[in-house]
Chain A
């Protein structure tokens, strides 16, 4: 018996009991669809986190002030503002590994413009900030080193701010007022979208850090220093170097704890991803239980089928079928049933993921691997759960099978 004939026999048998086969396959259909939707949502969440972390910048290291522990007592990060502009300058002049350095001074302030006013974050940064965060301007340009050195009152607007206070008109070349100080708008940044924590990256105004330090806040300390390396591989070495430089700069002796924290993007990404991975695995595991139940359904119906067709099996054995022929025939039938359920489940899961994405706005990612895996697995469920009934059929005694009423 070649496979084509076996396949045709299986299809005949399934089509003769349409309702029964459909109900049996339903278990597999639901299982496969559920697995696909769950994995699609999980992958979607993961790819979105990756995108957001990637949005932070390239090969970026974040240094924040504050020790994790002080004299054995744990402190929250940023408990003390221990970073200074001098730290950033020391890194810039002495580091072997980093290619860009920028302190970040953050404050919130009301912004006035001819077209409206808006309360937003003002970040005082260096020109390297653009490189570190890989943030292009849509119109105009970023401020230059001369603007930083001279602490000029110039600003680059995030997309959201530009839209809020310059509805429609081009902000470049216009003046805005931040805390009673006039700033010249030099450029508007390209949109970056949401941050990993859900806030709007584009609701920001960037000014030279020198300007922010001396003319806006007057605070000599800074809450964040961003640095970046030339490549991903240099990040660990750079992190270590930052620690050494800052300990030196802060005059920390051998057993003093760090009064700052050095983290990289991977640390952030790993933390965020590991939780979604666990969730995805958990959901997929729950969904696979329904595949298992579907498989038991197939086994049940194949057992019924073997009993019903005892006489047919007897006839086949009498005219020369081997046990193996009968085994294969029933196995192919259960595999076809499983795989058919898998394909239907795939279509349903695919549609389900799209519908879910449409109504919830979640990103869903359906990888071809998952699709092939789901159909393959449901076929395997057919083999596994079809084997016992098929073996039972193959082991029938032809004489008794022929006599079976």
Chain B
């Protein structure tokens, strides 16, 4: 077992609406170690989005503890959580969530602008490097509306990577993409994962989960199954196959 990146201990999230109590998460224990590519699956209402928000420090649990990259996160204040998101996490969303009318480069620079540690680093150079890493070295000056969906998601991935976070969280990253582009994005995730990145992907598509190293299934706010992927697929090879078939 490698270094532990995520460790949750009986985290629970209960929403109170009027007299109703909604148990979005019930005592979830999840441990993810460095270098894993975990897919979290489940239907809507299964609690996977809540778990995702919890793991992403966008929300705090009602009870239970959460340790991210050695830092106890539950109980931290808003500003401390913002700093954790900024330094330890990289987000990739279904809707890309790039700033409109802002170049790819500036989008990727953004997280570094909110870093308050006062690091002496060349923000521009790091952003360029991140974009080159996702294969967009030639589209850096383009705003999102001049990029294809796949390219936009690459920009988002570059933005998630640029701060060298301990964890990349992807929430339905292929939800808005066609199947070929989806495989492309997963190939990129596999490549990054092979380079040592810890990645958690939330998805409801089994086709996407097969590219992970481990699949966690959720149901009614609990982890229902948690197992390694037996027949893991190589997204890069699938792409080649797709291209061959098309030709």
List which B130-181 residues lie within 8 A (CB) of chain A: 159
Q: List CB contacts (< 8 Å) of B82-134 with chain A.
A: 82-83, 85-87, 91, 93, 97-101, 110-111, 113-115
Residues of A within 8 A of B78 (CB): 322-323
**B59, closest chain A residue (CB):** A399
Seen from chain A, the residues whose Cβ lies within 8 Å of a Cβ on chain B are 1, 5, 12, 16, 311-312, 314-325, 398-399, 402
For residue B76, CB closer than 8 A to chain A, the reply is no
A126 to B121, CA, bound (A): 86
Given contacts A399-B53, A399-B58, contact A316 B114 (CB under 8 A): yes
Q: Which residues of A contact B91 (CB under 8 A)?
A: 318-319
Query: Would A320 and B83 be within 8 Å (CB), given that A399-B59, A402-B93 are in contact?
Result: yes
Min C-beta distance of A2 to chain B, whole Å:
8
What residues of chain A lie closer than 8 Å to B101, measured between beta carbons? 12, 16
10 A-B residue pairs with CB within 8 Å: A16-B101, A312-B99, A316-B110, A319-B86, A320-B85, A320-B111, A320-B115, A321-B86, A322-B114, A402-B97
Query: Are the C-beta atoms of A5 and B113 separated by less than 8 Å?
Result: yes
The distance from the CB of B163 to the nearest CB of chain A, in whole angstroms, is 8
Complexed CA–CA distance, A317 and B111 (Å): 10
Once the chains bind, are B53 and A319 in contact (CB under 8 Å)?
no
A5-B113, A320-B115 known; A314-B97 Cβ under 8 A: yes
Q: At the interface, yes or no: B231 with Cβ under 8 Å from chain A?
A: no
A-contact 0/1 string along B27-60, CB 8 Å cutoff: 0000000000000000000000000010010110
Number of interface residues of B (CB under 8 A): 24
Contact between A1 and B99, CB atoms less than 8 A apart:
no
Contact indicator B58/A320 (Cβ below 8 Å): no
The 5 closest A-B CB pairs, nearest first, are: A320-B86, A320-B114, A319-B111, A322-B82, A320-B85
Instruction: Tell whether, in the assembled complex, residue A311 and residue B114 are in contact, meaning their CB atoms are under 8 Å apart.
Output: no
User: In the docked arrangement, what's the CA distance between A315 and B56, Å?
Assistant: 13
B79 proximal to A (CB < 8 A):
yes
In angstroms, Cα B171 to Cα A314, docked, is 15
- Give Cα A16–Cα B86 distance, bound, in whole angstroms: 28
A319 contacts B110, C-beta separation under 8 Å: yes
Chain A, residue nearest B110 (CB): A319
Q: How far is the CB of B152 from chain A (nearest CB, A)?
A: 13
A317 touches B82 (CB 8 A): yes
Kindly state the separation between the CA atoms of A112 and B78 in the bound complex, as whole angstroms. 95
Which residues of A sit under 8 angstroms from B79, Cβ to Cβ?
322-324
